[in-house]
Structure 1
């Protein structure tokens, strides 16, 4: 005679299992919850590094942030970018990204331009390390929108100082 065992799953058991599963999701999975993502980073500006406001190459270091939505406009005001060391930039002014549009967040000083897709940090110091760093993009609510760690050796195989994420 065969003994047949059945498993009865109650709503409570299913809820506990679902909760345990969602707790196991890696923290970086939160990066995909936003339509704004880091498209790429020029972490090593061409030439000899010089963070002088006049004649330096800080403005050639930039982060590209793209609106990957097909329908939704996004105002960058309140979004925050940070590196591993805690250097931070907050978008303080309105800057609208149309669906599929992008912005270059550049170092150095300059005039922000919606039409030119550029925002300047108004700071001549470099933010991204040339060997390795982590880039954090936060929603205005403070929740992570996108996070990427890089090392020059692992992520920049052609050595051009630019790394692409999210295509």
Structure 2
């Protein structure tokens, strides 16, 4: 993992000020898998009822940006800023080069053919105003991270934000 730090020093009126910038998000993590986008605000009125709710319409898309490697999602973790909202891929799910998977809320049958994995949980994972999406490798290393705010990042107001093309 490469992390770039910028160091700037300014001397003014006998005072030394040092400014250190934080590592850039996402671009600095070495991983073929990245968060392509997130439907953080499911269409309709939010309801996490398993029978009538819309949590299945909330999802995060994870894409394999490698041109040659197939990656097994088993052991990868997706979480938000709270420690209790997380999902670990427990079964083999292979993403070939350029392939993607939508990790959806709600209950359903995982399908490689339909590129979908369900969290088997009807609670919403992403906040509708702002949140941070973390993707971790099975080793615990960062694969990708993106913070979003509705007002800054969702220009058309449709509840979907794209991070990587």
**TM-score band, normalised by shorter chain:** 0.7 to 0.9
Q: Do the aligned residues in 1 keep the contact of 2:58 with 2:105 (CA within 8 Å)?
A: yes
Question: Which structure shows the higher helix fraction?
Answer: 1
Q: Which residue of 2 aligns with 1:45?
A: 42
Q: CA deviation at 1:85?
A: 1.4
Structure 1 residue ranges (4+ consecutive) displaced by more than 6 angstroms after TM superposition: none
C-alpha separation in 2, matches of 1:24 and 1:50? 43
User: Cα RMSD over matched residues?
Assistant: 1.6
Work out whether residues 30 and 144 of structure 1, in 8 Å CA contact, stay in contact via their aligned partners in 2: no
Greater share of residues in strand = 2
Structure 1 stretches of 5 or more lacking a match?
Answer: 1-20
Extract unaligned runs of 5+ from structure 2.
7-22
Q: Determine if the alignment matches structure 1 residue 57 to structure 2 residue 33.
A: no
| C-alpha separation in 2, matches of 1:109 and 1:22 | 38
Report if aligned partners of 2:42, 2:57 keep a CA contact under 8 Å in 1: yes
| Alpha-carbon contact 1:31-1:145 (below 8 Å) kept | no
> Match of 1:45, SS?
coil
Inter-partner Cα distance in structure 2 for 1:144 and 1:70 = 20
Is the radius of gyration larger for structure 1 or structure 2? 1
SS in structure 1 at match of 2:164:
coil
TM-score by length of 2: 0.85
Per-residue CA distance 1:97-120 (angstroms, 9 max, x = gap): 010000000000000000010000
